[in-house]
Structure 1
Amino acid sequence: MKLRSIFFSFLFLFFVTVNPAFSSHTSKTTYDYLKTFSEVLDIVQKNYVETPEAKELIYGAIRGMLGALDPHSSFLTPDEFKELQIETKGKFGGVGIEITIKDGWISVVSPIEDTPAYKAGIKPGDKIIKINGKSTKNMTLMKAVKLIRGKKGTKVTLTIWREGFTESKDFEIVRDIISIKSVKTKILEPGYGYVRLTSFQENTTSDLQKALLEMEKGKPSLKGIILDLRNNPGGLLEQAVRVSDEFLDKGKIVSVKGRTKEQYMEFKAHKNKHPHSYPMVVLVNEGTASAAEIVAGALQDNHRALIIGKPTFGKGSVQTVLPLKDGSALRLTTALYYTPKDRCIQAKGIVPDLTLADIKVSQPEKKPPHFLREKDLERHLKALEEMKIEEGKKPKDFLINIGLQVLKKWEAFTQLQY
């Protein structure tokens, strides 16, 4: 089946045309409400203290309509739509953060590794209460994105409120070109590889294929790999399906279900020309979202990998970007996706096979940062049913060490789990 271009996080999109199945049948009640809207519009235009622009009034009304649905549906003006398209290429001027809206404020889901925001100390769960002194209360995501973005070398001040702060703190960050490399790899030890996916962009699968072939050429041959999806905010559905397919030779990957039969899609794995038959461990946490959850769910349900970490973000909804004639667009939640075992993880997330609670830590842990989850967002839909590795040295990351030990004792571990 031809892959339809679906939008999974506000960072990434493909274009789709409006399907007749998406259009609703307008009832008499709807017409009654439209009469009220028309009446209000007429009163405002005739009586407001200043002469209002019709476009701003209409755009504002559309924003309100989409904002009443769920946290991921929104209206994009022509300028905002253009800004959004820039990011699908994985290169733009900014500070490098994934943001969402919580309690009416712009909040950080995750900083992108090795970016100005990451280096400045911005943390998951941080609440951005001001951008260059401008309050973000009830600000749209795209307006916040536009304010944060800018030319390389220019500065932006983010006023942050963080759990544990006694008062807000200003972070002055110098913008840079954010060129996101979505695939990073290392050899942890002879025979054991590490692959980190930071997002799902247009070139993620092809970059992954090259990286895997390069690692597989080494001596000794690969005995197992760790796939790190922690703090991966998602991206393109097509890439999530292709990445899953890269590690699967058969079975279902994901299905997408909307209100109508026409919106149903199912994606299955194909036999690979270059199979990767070695064991896999997948690392996840609360910042693993959307398309990244599809990969984790597909590998878990097909018993292809052992999932280790913390329950994931829980964004199981599908957003379709629908361009409009005036250059604007709707970003509309049109469906929910389901794992191969027909699990809807909306507001639930993927529960790892081995959670951190199951792992005994010999040293005291610091209080973990507060991560936003899908279930924390207002109007979230309910379900229908930083690490560095030096070559030749032990990884300092605790979970990677756990994953490595699991790979080394794979047969014993999988007999217990499956």
Structure 2
Amino acid sequence: MKRTLLESASLVWLFCGLAATTAAVCQEEAKEDSGFKEMELFTEVLETIRQGYVDSDKVTYEKLINSALEGMLASLDPHSQFMQPKVFDQLKRHTDSTYEGIGVTISTKNEVLTIVTAREDGPAAKSGVLPGDQILKINDQLTEDLGMEEAVNLLRGRPGESLKLTIRRPATQKLHEFEMKREVIKQSSVEDVRLLDSRLTAPYRMGYARILQFSEPTAEELADALDELEQQGMDAFVLDMRNNPGGLLGSAIDVCGEFVKAGTVVLTTEGKPGSGEIKVYRTSAEKKRRERDYPLAILVNHSSASGAEVVSGALQDLKRCIVVGETTFGKGSVQSIIPIGEGKAIRMTTAKYYTPSHRTIHENGVVPNIVATLTPTQEQQLAEWFSRDTLSPEERQRAENFTDPQLVRAVDAMKGALVYAKTLAKEKPSGDPAPAPAPAAGGKPAPEAKPTEKTSDQPADKASAKPAKTNEEAPKPAAAQPDKPTTPEKPETPAPSPPR
């Protein structure tokens, strides 16, 4: 009895000791991170600079505090920033269907300013800039000394103004200089809608479309394209999201909804650990036109980011598609814009994306089921093919001879899925639908939470162009290529006949 009492007393003393130690540690950590000591240091440095710096006009409180805020936000991640009134105003106007610039999307990758996408109809792509190029100088100004907002401001400008970029191409480690003139860039969303060349897809009919970015009408444009292709007898579909930088999150969710049942969880966003900020995004029954159960392949590359990663990652996890290409960019975070008065604002990362199997996209990207890479030469040829509408007749003829290895792999995968589905249908009793299988990465289910309204990870431009609905053949028997896109500026013209 005495021994038992002694043991109990020892345990109580041990637990009390651990609790006291834990409390002391927590108090010490709270004391260390209280901020008072650091604020005192900040104030001391601020006043020292104001009193001793040689140029008094550079050390006003406003300039010093703004610089401190810029550094504070920039140190968090490449997507967080302090925005002065001019930048904040540009961001609010970024939802327009046009903007002035050179047609590129930029981000910081491995601490280097990198071109995520270059619109094929923009000045940058026309001059030879490729996605993945690293910007070293903008008009002879080193980018390592620039913040993100400064770089964006230097790239934008009035139409007709000249701009020079010095870039390093990682694939070859060569330096290039490109000169271009800023233009009014018109946004578009879904393009190159068509049936692929039957010489590549026989004995099946396979549809193809490209999503350039996710804007408000994207899901509706894609649904229109799918309806048209289905009327033409499409057996499988290839969705090309290479060089897609993302856009409106709600639009990406609606695109997922075209291929899965209404109410399916396709994305979860989770905020700071312990905050309880968990949002679950499900596909909408209201925006879904009909069930589409044919096999689906999605093409991605190193410049597929944000919304493109949401769609490919979700449909891959749900075993609804086969992802073909390269590991994506890895931009899977949500930024909130918080106004702070006087026309200023801060843009801050507040959550991260998680796929249905709870994979995190941020800094990891989506790994394709079928890896298909392009050489630097093939990357250039693909960019020329996408921008063929802007090329001279001689250059267009050369571009039409390009064989797209990634598209060929996607078509082969769809043929396999169709053969498997046909075989499975024979083995099943009549009346049971044959699924269109696709491999996907497994994982634990995403945490549940109440559905919330759709938000955007970043503002995106509205698209005004409708998809081209054609049934043209690609010019090269070895592989089908996207036909000439329809744009608001130029009417559709028939593709050239295949070479004899």
TM-score by length of 2: 0.68
**Relative to 1, partners in 2 of residues 1:166 and 1:100: Cα closer, same or farther, differing over 3 Å?**
closer
C-alpha contact (below 8 Å) 1:188/1:394 kept by paired residues: no
How do 1:17-416 residues align onto structure 2 when only pairs under 5 Å count?
Answer: 29-51=34-56, 52-102=59-109, 104-163=111-170, 168-184=175-191, 185-189=193-197, 191-216=205-230, 218-219=231-232, 221-250=233-262, 251-259=264-272, 260-271=274-285, 272-356=288-372, 386=383, 387-388=385-386, 396-412=403-419
**Relative to 1, partners in 2 of residues 1:316 and 1:400: Cα closer, same or farther, differing over 3 Å?**
same
C-alpha contact (below 8 Å) 1:88/1:202 kept by paired residues: no
Partner of 2:366, secondary structure, is: coil
C-alpha contact (below 8 Å) 1:106/1:139 kept by paired residues: no
Partner of 2:151, secondary structure, is: helix
Unaligned runs of 5+ in 1: 1-24, 358-363, 371-385
**Relative to 1, partners in 2 of residues 1:132 and 1:394: Cα closer, same or farther, differing over 3 Å?**
closer
Partner of 2:215, secondary structure, is: coil
**Relative to 1, partners in 2 of residues 1:165 and 1:266: Cα closer, same or farther, differing over 3 Å?**
closer
Q: Deviations over 1:78-111 (max 9, x none)?
A: 1111222333334211111121234654322231
C-alpha contact (below 8 Å) 2:244/2:305 kept by paired residues: yes
Q: Whole-Å Cα distance in 2 between the matches of residues 400 and 344 of structure 1? A: 27
Q: Deviations over 1:268-312 (max 9, x none)?
A: 124433222222110111111111111001111111111111111
Shift in Å, 1:166: 8.3
C-alpha contact (below 8 Å) 1:308/1:353 kept by paired residues: yes
Amino acid at match of 1:46: Q
Amino acid at match of 1:254: L
Q: Whole-Å Cα distance in 1 between the matches of residues 401 and 136 of structure 2? A: 40
**Relative to 1, partners in 2 of residues 1:165 and 1:264: Cα closer, same or farther, differing over 3 Å?**
closer
Q: Deviations over 1:47-73 (max 9, x none)?
A: 221222322211110011112212221
Amino acid at match of 1:230: R
Structure with bigger helix share is 2
Shift in Å, 1:167: 7.2
Q: Whole-Å Cα distance in 1 between the matches of residues 176 and 207 of structure 2? A: 40
Q: Whole-Å Cα distance in 1 between the matches of residues 312 and 172 of structure 2? A: 34
2:457 match? none
**Relative to 1, partners in 2 of residues 1:395 and 1:274: Cα closer, same or farther, differing over 3 Å?**
farther
C-alpha contact (below 8 Å) 2:299/2:323 kept by paired residues: yes
Q: Whole-Å Cα distance in 2 between the matches of residues 73 and 256 of structure 1? A: 17
Shift in Å, 1:179: 1.2
Q: Whole-Å Cα distance in 1 between the matches of residues 67 and 107 of structure 2? A: 20
Q: Whole-Å Cα distance in 2 between the matches of residues 395 and 171 of structure 1? A: 24
How many correspondences in the alignment?
A: 369
Q: Whole-Å Cα distance in 1 between the matches of residues 110 and 33 of structure 2? A: 34
Query: Computing the radius of gyration over CA atoms, which structure comes out larger, 1 or 2?
Result: 2
**Relative to 1, partners in 2 of residues 1:345 and 1:397: Cα closer, same or farther, differing over 3 Å?**
same
